[in-house]
A = this chain, B = another copy of it.
Amino acid sequence: MDIEALLQEVCDGSLSPEAAAERLKRLPYEDIGFAKLDHHRALRSGFGEVVYCSGKTAGQVCAIFERFAAQDSNVLGTRATARQYEEAQKLLPAIEYHAPSGILTYITKPLPQKGLAAVCTGGTSDIPVAEEAARTAEFFGTNVERVFDVGVAGIHRLFDQLGRLRAANCIIAVAGMEGALPGVVAGLVDCPVIALPTSVGYGANFGGLSALLTMLNSCAEGIGVVNIDNGFGAGYLAAQINRLAMRGREEPA
């Protein structure tokens, strides 16, 4: 908020105190009754808009997508149901849906895909969460390399893929059950690893708690952990890190 410039305008008489107060207060979001849409976010981050669809009615999801679409924003919906997609598609035919990961995307001006993030999983059951992460990163302009089913119980599969992992600016390592993959990967690469625990497993996995604790306690360096099954959070963070890595390569510091 460039307060001094605004105050200078008030001082110059080019802006009335009332208008200035109004401008200070009119923060960049819009109220549509049941939700406050945050147009500010896209301005601030240069990314697109995000809608957490879980627990919203199909009608509410549609209304939010429409409002954002009216602003020519790209919109990403997470944890969306098929029913929400069907309703939304009637209003916005260009909307797309990936059922296993529950990702809705509405793209008006595609971002150029830059850099590279890798997404690897321990098993095949982790793929839906991994796809949520991968598609989120792609939505925010990141090239994504998928390296699935390379869990540590058969570690030769992981080694065969190391080259693909090492090419990335950052790696999302997805695992349920024992959750050991991120620690092993972090010991083999020198870029940041985002550890994404899943609730896959049974018994003493306690809905993903086991994998979460493993990742938090990893002895390997360079790991940041996100919530259980939080593919969106991992993908967003990967896109941020990738963007940092690529920004410099394009514009001189």
| Neighbouring B residues of A60 by C-beta, 8 Å | 124
The answer to whether A237 touches B149, judged by C-beta atoms less than 8 angstroms apart, is: no
Smallest distance from the beta carbon of A184 to chain B beta carbons, Å? 5
| Neighbouring B residues of A10 by C-beta, 8 Å | 7, 10-11, 17
Is A142 at the interface (CB under 8 A from chain B)? no
CA distance A122 to B233 in the complex (A): 18
The answer to whether B244 touches A179, judged by C-beta atoms less than 8 angstroms apart, is: no
Q: Mark A195-221, 1 if CB is under 8 A from B, else 0.
A: 001011111111111111111111111
The answer to whether B200 touches A208, judged by C-beta atoms less than 8 angstroms apart, is: no
- Residue from the list B169, B187, B209 in contact with A155, Cβ < 8 A: B187
From A40-48, A85-93, A105-113, the one touching the partner chain is A40-48
Which residue of chain B lies nearest to A9 when distances are taken between CB atoms in the complex? Answer: B17
- Residue from the list B230, B240, B245 in contact with A190, Cβ < 8 A: B240
- Residue from the list B203, B207, B229 in contact with A228, Cβ < 8 A: B203
The answer to whether B180 touches A214, judged by C-beta atoms less than 8 angstroms apart, is: yes
Please report the total number of A residues contacting B with Cβ < 8 Å.
Answer: 112
| Neighbouring B residues of A194 by C-beta, 8 Å | 224
CA distance A98 to B137 in the complex (A): 40
The answer to whether B154 touches A29, judged by C-beta atoms less than 8 angstroms apart, is: yes
| Neighbouring B residues of A232 by C-beta, 8 Å | 221
Smallest distance from the beta carbon of A53 to chain B beta carbons, Å? 11
Q: Mark A149-185, 1 if CB is under 8 A from B, else 0.
A: 1111111110110000000011000000111100110
The answer to whether A157 touches B213, judged by C-beta atoms less than 8 angstroms apart, is: no
Is A67 at the interface (CB under 8 A from chain B)? no
9 CB < 8 A contacts A-B:
A34-B124, A35-B149, A36-B157, A38-B154, A56-B125, A154-B187, A192-B241, A201-B217, A248-B249
